[in-house]
Structure 1
Amino acid sequence: MWTKILPVSALIASVTLTGATAHAEPTSPVGGEALGGHGLVAPTGVKKPPKSKATSYVIADADTGEVLAAKDAHGRYLPASTLKTLTAVTLIPKLDKERRIRPSQNACNQEGSAVGLSPKTTYKVEDLFKALMMSSGNDAAMALAETNGGLAKTMADMNAEAKRLQAFDTVAKTPSGLDKPGQSSSAYDLALIARAGLANPDFKRYISTKTSKFPAPKGHYEISNHNKLLWRYDGMIGVKNGWTSKAQASFVGAATRGGHTIVVSIMKHEGFFWEEVSQLLDWGFSVRGKAAPVGRLVDPLPAAALAAPGPSAVPSAAAASPGVSVTQAAQPPLLDTAAAKQTDETRTIGSLVIGGGLLFGMIWLGYGIRRRRGRSRV
């Protein structure tokens, strides 16, 4: 009887391979291969989408999930306040909208856009959601995060929700969308998150509200929705716009006409985009049902898939249909974040420890066997 002792390099390679497989990211572009490139992807046989200065955009049928056209759909960019759509989608089901809270001084002191929360005033959670989605209140975002159990818990919840929705380009670092290293989203993910939000009546009500009374230390004042298309575009439901100097302008919105809903998301736009978004929406309504889709907004992952270990099972739409033109070779964009590097380093260290333990055990077993054989010869 004998025992083969593997070299430590083989043991470590084996363990590392297993660990990598258990945490695998999608190996193909979510929603279809055609969405993996950086250029314009549009159907043939219909007029081309209007030109846009946005670096990235998606036009999709929210009813069917069909992506009608896209440009750099999975390009990862700073989302600015469009990330508040994920904050709302995550927290609306978790928080009682009638609950009353008094915000902390920390929440009231958040930088950037604010609704003007006061630590002396009590607010309903519903007031905070209106402030979040109408006035883009960073103070409201932090107050909601604290109501949910704190910033760390809320960020964990938001990132878990992004994974459930298969918004794998999205990494949330703040509840408000204020720029932070490693934070990202994509036009595809923004459309995916907005579509999920539209299925929630409260989310839909908040984004559709044009003006509302908001509590103040003495009485109330009126807040208005920052989405200008609620006043300008026929059938506009709303959703969210955002801007920072690094992110530039971003927007995700939805409109309904003739019983059909189109969603448009744009990222990294250099300036005034309202007219361009209106034209993209018009184009979406004009071609829906008449052209082959270039991809699909996927459904959320089932609970069983989220709980089970192993590689992410990402249902991918088929590659672009024969009636689809792609203006640039598909090269899935990547974002190398510090968080990802840290995770890889942690896995490698864990693998070395496990591999070393296995090697020590095998050496000890071989030593014991040799000792027993030596005794039997005496």
Structure 2
Amino acid sequence: MRTSLVAAATTLALIFPPVAAAQETSPPPVTAENAETVEEQDDDGQPTSREDAPDTDNCPWLQAPSSARTTSEVVTPGDPTPTPLPIPDVPAGGPLMDNCGVIAPEGFQVPENQTASAWMVFDVDSGEILATKDPHGRYRPASIIKVLLGLIAIEELNPQARVTGTWDAANIEGSRVGVGEGGDYTVDELLHGLLLASGNDAAYLLAQELGGDEATLEIINERAREIGTQSTVAATYSGLDAPGMSTSAYDMALIYQHAWQNPRFAEIVDTEYIDFPGWGDNDGFQVWNDNGLFLNDPDGIGGKTGYTDDANHTFVGALNRDGRRLGAVILDTTVDKASPWVQARELIDASLDTLPGAGVGQLGELEEEQPTATELPPTEPAPSPTPEEADSATLDIVRVALPITVIVLLLLAALTWTFRQRR
């Protein structure tokens, strides 16, 4: 049975200067990302409070996320304003995914504690969508987008390669795992810091190893397109809000289904804690997984947490209920009634009665279109020849065949005469 040690995961996060992060026994600060109730949060980190899940039946966020409440997405003077991705003519996931409200089998009951704008429950192994709300609505992902950076780093970097901490990394904006300037880290340690504790400092160092910020963004956006996303733009690789950032519940389900098939990714997010190195005169410390569903439920499968002022809470996690692995994605939720991981668990448990094959869609599936250009035109029968054309054709055959016949007979006669002379 795992114990709830989520608070330790952020002992080092959001602390400046980073020296304080090395104190393993220091109680963690309560932040918007690790708070279990809205009352625990500081005023400057409190999300929009809500009693009920927003009504999305009329598809309000089909083209782009709602307006930012902060200045995080103000375009820098001289930079172009990002253009939202086009709305696909055919929404992925099947014909029901064209709707924007709750899409679920008959008898499915949405849990009362649900306050998310969008969510999806899916079978991790088969990709079957069991239930969802606003699957293609566009929202901000926050730190759950770190999955893309994690996958690329796993595939491209040597896990034992050494990386030196920098001042820029140690003083990065947002949550930090506790990298120190001059500290010595392996890529594998940074990956754990990225995925267990949502460290933007670890993200920065990994991105530099991959070629820098711009190159990394290009790589992860290309990977998102290869996986089959329709609404995802990573404007930052860490999940911090920036102009143009967007994703959807469908896209995140598709990405995490893909990620969980990578054995190394699955192993990292299923880690409770690691010993993280110190730097300078600072001792090492433990870094804990901040995913409450993984830590608090014996069937938990590691995923990722996220929070920004404009994204609100986001969450991805999964449960293995009697051999059936079901995942949940939650976007734009609050902690007014329940923490994101509790909301995810309740949605998954509400989906257990849906038997395999009785879901509402399929990850990676496009609605079938009627064939058009691929159809071949019908073959028309050749016209019958007229009597004059038939006589002419017969005469042409005779003109060609008669000389050939004469030549063949003369050759046979010559061969016969030669054979008799030799005898």
TM-score by length of 1: 0.71
Measured after TM superposition, the shift of residue 146 of structure 1 is 0.5
Distance 1:178 1:225 in 2: 20
Task: Give 1:189's aligned residue.
Answer: 251
Task: Give 1:294's aligned residue.
Answer: 360
Which structure has the larger Rg over C-alpha atoms?
A: 2
Task: Give 2:242's aligned residue.
Answer: 180
CA contact (8 A) 1:89 1:193 kept: no
Greater relative contact order, per chain length (Cα 8 Å cut-off, separation 6+): 1
More helix by share: 1
Distance 2:164 2:172 in 1: 15
Moved over 6 A (4+): none
CA contact (8 A) 1:79 1:184 kept: yes
Task: Give 1:243's aligned residue.
Answer: 307
Task: Give 2:218's aligned residue.
Answer: 156
**For 1:1-378, what aligned pairs fall within 5 Å after superposition?**
26-44=88-106, 46-51=107-112, 52-217=114-279, 218-271=282-335, 272-289=339-356, 292-298=358-364, 315-317=365-367
Amino acid at match of 1:187: A
Q: SS at the partner of 1:144?
A: helix
Label 1:24 to 1:81 Cα distance change in 2 as closer, same or farther (>3 A): closer
Measured after TM superposition, the shift of residue 87 of structure 1 is 1.5
Measured after TM superposition, the shift of residue 190 of structure 1 is 1.1
CA contact (8 A) 2:166 2:182 kept: no
Q: SS at the partner of 1:128?
A: helix
CA contact (8 A) 2:317 2:341 kept: no
Matched residue count = 279
Runs of 5+ consecutive residues of structure 2 not aligned to the other structure: 1-84, 370-423
Label 1:25 to 1:38 Cα distance change in 2 as closer, same or farther (>3 A): closer
Distance 1:142 1:288 in 2: 43
CA deviation vs aligned residue, 1:116-159 (integer Å, no higher than 9, x gap):
11121110000011000111001111111001111111000000
Amino acid at match of 2:303: V
TM-score by length of 2: 0.63
Distance 1:109 1:100 in 2: 20
Runs of 5+ consecutive residues of structure 1 not aligned to the other structure: 1-22, 299-314, 320-378
Amino acid at match of 2:226: R
Superposition CA RMSD, Å: 1.8
Task: Give 2:379's aligned residue.
Answer: none
Q: SS at the partner of 2:265?
A: helix
Measured after TM superposition, the shift of residue 25 of structure 1 is 7.0
Q: SS at the partner of 1:222?
A: strand
Measured after TM superposition, the shift of residue 24 of structure 1 is 8.2
CA deviation vs aligned residue, 1:171-206 (integer Å, no higher than 9, x gap):
001111001010111111111111111111111111
